[in-house]
A and B are shown apart, each in its own frame.
Chain A
Amino acid sequence: MFWRRRKRREQDLERELRSDLELEAEEQRENGLSPEDARYAAQRALGNKALLKEKVREMWGWQALERVEQDVRYALRTLRKNPMFAIAAILILTLGIGANSAIFSLANAVLLQPLPFHDPDRLVILHGENRQIGFDGPASVCDPDFLLWKQQTQSFSGMAAFQGQTANMTGDGPPERVLGSAVTVNFFHLLGRNPILGRSFLSEDAQAGHDNVLLLNHRLWATNFHADRSIIGRSVVLDDRVFTVVGVMPSDFQFPNQADFWTPLTLTGGCSNASNQVIARLRPGASLGQARSETIVISRRLARQRHRNSDGWETSVVSLQEQLSANFRPTLLLLLSAVGLVLLIACANVSNLLLARSAARRHEMATRRALGAGRGRIVTQLLTESVCLALIAGSLGILLSFPMQRALASLLPVASNQPVFMVPAIHNVVDGRVLAFVFVISVGCGIFFGMVPALQSSGVDPYSALKDSRAVARSASRLPIARNVFIVAEVALTLILLASAGLLARSFIRLRTTDPGFQPSRLLTATLTLPDTRYHGEAQRLTFHRLLLSRLDVAPQVQRAGTVAFGLPFTGAGLRGDIVIEGQPPPPPELIVKKLVVSAGYFNVMNIPLLKGRAFSSHDTERSNPAVIVSASFARQFFLNESPVGKRIDPGFGGGSKFYTVVGIVGDVKSPGDGRRARLAIYIPYSQAPRPFLQTFITLIVRTDGDPMRMATVVRHAVRSVDPEIPIFDVASMEQLISRSVAESRMNTVVVGLFAVLSLMLATIGIYGVVAYAVTQRTREIGLRIALGATRGQVLALILRRGLGLTLAGVALGVAASLVITRLLASRLYEVRTTDPETFVLVALLLMTVSLLASYIAARRAVRLDPMVALRYE
């Protein structure tokens, strides 16, 4: 429709101009000119017909659209005519855009996908932060405080509490460990989700005695109950308590923490146990900022009322999405920046290719200008060409991003190890947002890398360029200024990436090779919990513990077995906090002391050396004098040169103070995942654990003869032989735990490393291109030098100097920039400084060697020149 109308107009205009021309010619004939002269005169009067038509078309208003079409068609034709250039440029850009699209898809899945709740943007989490002890996460609130929060805040239309729980589910099959959450009855209403079967919680479910009801998640319902639709009303046994199933939630609802079930939370506790997390929905019209300032005020008031020490604590709210992605955000930011640099380098490279080509197209541009094309018109046309290139590369890049995303997904850290909430499921999706992103960066790149070459080309002076073809070659030597700038930038950016990759790699190696302070090979770990219902007495727990260890000790292929609670190395787990050392002021809050509850043989099983005093033994019982063992760092930190043996410590687990006498010092356990300070540790024997929860949560550690994972069944049998209703979970070898703890570091290293290699390749190609171009430009000069007696070595040095000079400038710039930029890596690095001189020297040398090699290959042609041929070279 549109095109037909345009065509008619086009014919119309042609006819109109022709009739004018005829009339003019007739008139001129009447003035006495010969028919031929009259025609020429008429044409002169009309002027540049193509330009005139162009101007008229502009008046029609669809000029822009039509020009784009024309330019695109022309651009594609030009690219087809020059396939080598097109392929090289598209390849380079495809790599750059593909990598960006892959990383963006990941970011999109983690940061931008809406959560499966009603109006998720209005949901917030009560958040606590304490800079002194480095805590930044969801606030823990006790029951009475939650009720006060709910009463006093004005910014929220609803507020719910929840706490994670785990349970041993027993029934027809073998016992199973399930994760769940106890939630206030308004929880589902607040999130705006309903069960697909049965009902949600009602307010009477929260009353004591009526709270034995249960909602199942879709996964548990499908796997353990065969998606039986008559499940409602059936009983499920969790930790020996009988619950009635009242509903099943939809499959995309697993909040919080990939919960398998939900029970009603009864808020009857006191303030000694702050274990609720709080989620709230902003009232319509209330802003996050308002809610934040309101919560800060209320939290201060609450702290005063409760006479609590609130030093350094700040309670406020953050959006749910922000909280959920908090763990992952720094990694994503790192990857996004790295991949952005790769794209910049790719753009600089293609810019250089275009500049090289623009020398060859000088004649074409000069002709176009001579025929009346304005500079702006030429720039537009050249930019259309580069945008076309980028868009082709963008479409290929999306295809390339699929395998990249798969590779990336395999490198992702294990989600189950995230202690806080759920990590949103990472779907590798290319949705509208990813497509829009790729489109925008493609067009952006096209304009970005095309702009300088386009301005250069269009600035050609048609008169001199057309008059003298040699002038083309001569004045073209002006172009390398821009090319050199691009090369220096490329080298500098590459150095930043190489330095980052180098630092990450060093940090990764450090993580893997640091002596953990114990022997991690052939260790199996597994965890179990003792339900309160059957193990509420200390005697029962101690009996279970003793029986289990004695069974394991005699099991085949088991060397030794021990237990630890809340402090398994490489898992980030640990209890820390307020210890009191007799006769000393309380330790500063930024010193974190890890508190572990271990079996007597723990140090023996782990091969942690005893440095002084004695280890625990079977003589340390619930009735003997309380004993504690401290780590070497702890002894140094708090007792300096004095011996701590005989001193007394209150480990401060709450529930009244109780002093333990130091009986020994053991070597430090370094578990990088815990941070550097975690080497301060104290160990308490299982038999003397001051609180029941320290005895009901048990991680088994078993030193085996062979492959530890093969021993999982042996351990399971041993546990079952003591109590058939207790499942074990989180079964993993120590090596696996170590590997998991460095997963993020591994991913950062591999991905940034690959990006660095990619950009090194691109920079090498760029340097080669510039040097090779210089050789071509200076062919005559080189020939002359050789004819006049210059040695091959001198010529080679002449050429190499150019490549090396550019590289050196780039390296210097890159090092300066890196020293600033790598600071952002600080939190990702383990025992490596961001200015690590060895890494910087190494990557600078690498970059220079590679660029020298590239220059050399390009320069060889110059050395081999036959002076006779070179001098005639035009």
Chain B
Amino acid sequence: MPKESSGRIELLQGTLDMLILRTLLFGPAHGHQIAKHIQRTTDDLLQVEHGSLYPALHRLERKGWLAAKWEPASKDQKREYKYYRLTAAGKKQLAAEESKWKQMASAIARVMWPAEEG
């Protein structure tokens, strides 16, 4: 079973927020979809624990970066899901976090592989 794969990576502190925001850039999604999307995109390398995902979603919502609404699912009109959608503030936040992330990644890279840089 994929869940037991040993190659899982613990999410870095704070990166889950960014991943959620990035995922929602494609359009509104509910919690389960967000988790699956991150998992699939990373070939199951990143596992999103429910215990972290939902608190994160509610936190982002409280900060005003996400807005949530119960809506019927597109394929099955009888069931409703809580869809999260990026707000304008959320988009700005995503941009900020992305540039911060890039800076940090390049900084780490310069330390780790100085020759390649040169």
- Evaluate contact between B55 and A61: CB separation under 8 angstroms: no
In the complex, which residue of chain A has the Cβ closest to the Cβ of B49? A47
Hey, what's the 0/1 contact readout for B50-67 against A, CB within 8 Å counting as 1?
110011101100100000
Known contacts A16-B82, A19-B79, A59-B62: does B51 contact A24 (CB below 8 Å)?
no
Q: Across the interface, do B55 and A16 meet the contact criterion of CB distance under 8 Å? A: no
Give the nearest-CB partner of B33 in chain A. A23
Taking the closest CB of chain A, its distance from the CB of B102, in whole angstroms, is 27
> How far apart are A17's CB and chain B's nearest CB, in angstroms?
7
Residue contact A20 to B31, C-beta cutoff 8 Å: yes
Which residues of chain A are within 8 angstroms of B3 by Cβ–Cβ distance? 45
Q: A19-B82, A56-B54, A59-B62 are in contact. List 8 more A-B contacts (CB 8 A).
A: A12-B82, A19-B30, A23-B32, A45-B3, A47-B49, A47-B50, A55-B54, A60-B58
Complex contact B55–A20 (CB within 8 A)? no
A48 CA to B55 CA, complexed, in Å: 13
Residues in B whose Cβ lies below 8 Å from that of A46: 50
Cα(A147)–Cα(B34), bound, Å: 87
B58 contacts which chain A residues (CB < 8 A)? 13, 56, 59-60
Residue of B nearest to A53 (CB): B54
20 contacts between A and B (CB under 8 A): A12-B82, A13-B54, A16-B30, A19-B30, A19-B81, A19-B82, A20-B30, A20-B50, A24-B32, A46-B50, A47-B49, A47-B50, A52-B51, A52-B54, A52-B55, A55-B51, A55-B54, A56-B54, A59-B55, A59-B58
B32 with A60: CB separation less than 8 A: no
Contact, CB under 8 Å: B31 / A59: no
Closest to A48 in B: B51
Which residues of chain B from 69 to 110 have a CB within 8 Å of any chain A CB?
79-82
Q: What residues on B are CB-neighbors of A59 within 8 Å?
A: 55-56, 58-59, 62
Q: Is the CB of B50 within 8 A of A52?
A: yes
| A48 CA to B80 CA, complexed, in Å | 24
Q: Does A51 count as interface, using CB distance less than 8 angstroms? A: yes
Kindly report which residue of chain B lies nearest to residue A54, judged by CB atoms: B55
Tell me, yes or no, whether A30 is within 8 Å of chain B by CB. Answer: no
Pick the contact of B55: A19, A24, A56 (CB < 8 A).
Answer: A56
What 0/1 pattern do residues 18 to 55 of B give for CB contact below 8 A with A?
A: 00000000000011100000000000000001110011
User: A60 to chain B: which residues have CB within 8 Å?
Assistant: 58, 62
CB neighbours (8 Å) of A515 from chain B are none
Bound Cα distance from A561 to B30, whole angstroms: 106
Fill in one digit per residue for A46-81: 1 if any B CB lies within 8 Å of its CB, else 0. Answer: 111001100110111100000000000000000000
**What is the minimal beta-carbon distance from B57 to any residue of chain A, in angstroms?**
8
Contact flags (1/0) for A1-45 with B, using CB distance below 8 Å?
Answer: 000000000001101110110011000000000000000000001
Counting chain B residues whose Cβ lies within 8 A of the other chain, the interface size class is 10 to 19
Cα A48 to Cα B52 in complex, Å, equals 12
Contacts of B54 in A (CB 8 A): 13, 16-17, 52, 55-56
Chain B contacts of A20 at CB under 8 A? 30-32, 50
* Chain A binding surface SS class: helix
CA A56 to CA B51, docked complex, whole Å: 9
Complex: A170 Cα to B13 Cα, angstroms: 92
Of B31, B55, B56, the most chain A CB neighbours within 10 A belong to B55
Residue of B with least CB distance to A55: B55
* A23: B residues at CB distance < 8 A: 32
Which of B3, B31, B58 is packed against the most chain A CB atoms within 10 Å? B58
Chain A residue contacts of B59, Cβ below 8 A:
59
In the assembled complex, the CB of B33 is this many whole angstroms from the nearest CB of chain A, namely 8
> What are the residues of chain A within 8 A of B81 when measuring CB–CB?
19
Which 7 A-B pairs have CB atoms at the shortest separation, nearest pair first? A59-B58, A59-B59, A55-B55, A23-B32, A20-B32, A16-B82, A46-B50
In the bound assembly, the distance between CA atoms of A275 and B82 in angstroms comes to: 87
Q: Which residues of A contact B50 (CB under 8 A)?
A: 17, 20, 45-47, 52
CB distance from B20 to the nearest CB of A (A): 13
* Alpha-carbon gap, A59 to B66, bound state (A): 14
From B63, which residue of chain A is reached at the shortest CB distance?
A59
Q: Contact at B51–A47, with CB atoms within 8 Å?
A: yes
Q: How far is the CA of A19 from the CA of B81 in the complex (A)?
A: 7
Report the Cα distance A291→B21, complex, angstroms: 65
Give the complex CA separation of A352 and B79 in angstroms.
57
* A46 CA / B53 CA spacing, docked (Å): 10
* Alpha-carbon gap, A16 to B50, bound state (A): 12
- Complex Cα–Cα for A19 and B33 (A): 11
- Chain B CB count within 10 A is highest, among A12, A13, A19, for A19
A19 — which chain B residues lie within 8 A by C-beta? 30, 32, 79-82
Tell me the smallest distance from the CB of B4 to a CB of chain A, in Å.
Answer: 12
Task: Tell me if A58 and B51 are in contact (CB < 8 A).
Answer: no
Most buried by A among B3, B50, B56, B79: B50
- Distance between A809 CB and nearest chain B CB, rounded to angstroms: 50
Question: Cα distance A17–B55 when bound, in Å?
Answer: 12
Closest CB in chain B relative to A90 CB, distance in Å: 39
Smallest beta-carbon distance B18→chain A, Å:
17
Residue of B nearest to A20 (CB): B32
Closest to B82 in A: A16
| C-alpha spacing A45/B54, complex, angstroms | 13
How far, in Å, is B91 (CB) from chain A's closest CB? 21
C-alpha spacing A46/B32, complex, angstroms: 11
Task: Tell me, rounded to whole Å, the shortest Cβ–Cβ distance linking B61 to chain A.
Answer: 8
On chain B, the residues within 8 Å of A45 by CB distance are: 3, 50
Q: Which residue of B lies closest to A16 (CB)?
A: B82
- Write the nearest CB–CB distance from A54 to chain B, whole angstroms: 9
Task: State A82–B54 Cα separation when bound (angstroms).
Answer: 39
Measured between beta carbons, the chain B residues less than 8 angstroms from A52 are 50-51, 54-55
- The distance in angstroms between the C-alpha atoms of A23 and B81, with both chains bound, is 10
Within 8 A of B (CB), among A350-387: none
Chain B residues with Cβ under 8 A from A47's Cβ?
Answer: 49-51
Give the nearest-CB partner of A19 in chain B. B81
Q: Are A58 and B55 in touch, CB under 8 angstroms?
A: yes
CB pair B62–A51 under 8 Å, yes or no, is no
Q: Closest CB of chain B to A83's CB: distance in Å?
A: 40
Closest A residue by C-beta to B81: A19
List the A side residues contacting B79 at CB < 8 Å.
19
Chain B residues with CB below 8 A from A17, complex form: 50, 54
The CA-CA distance from A46 to B51 in the complex, in Å, is 7
Cα A13 to Cα B3 in complex, Å, equals 25
Cα-based distance from A46 to B54 in the complex (angstroms): 10
- CB–CB B51/A16 < 8 A: no
Complex formed: what's the CA distance from A142 to B31 in Å? 89
Q: Which residue of A lies closest to B80 (CB)?
A: A19
Q: What's the Cα separation between A309 and B108 when bound, in Å?
A: 83
Bound-complex Cα distance A804 to B75 (A): 81
C-alpha gap A45/B80 in the complex (Å): 21
Which residues of B have CB within 8 Å of A24?
Answer: 32
Contacts of B62 in A (CB 8 A): 59-61
- Give chain B residues whose Cβ lies under 8 Å from the Cβ of A15: 82
B29 to chain A minimum Cβ distance, whole angstroms, is 12
Contacts of A16 in B (CB 8 A): 30-31, 54, 82
Return chain A residues, CB-CB under 8 Å to B80: 19
A48 and B50 alpha carbons, distance in the complex (Å): 9
A contact residues around B31 at 8 Å (CB): 16, 20
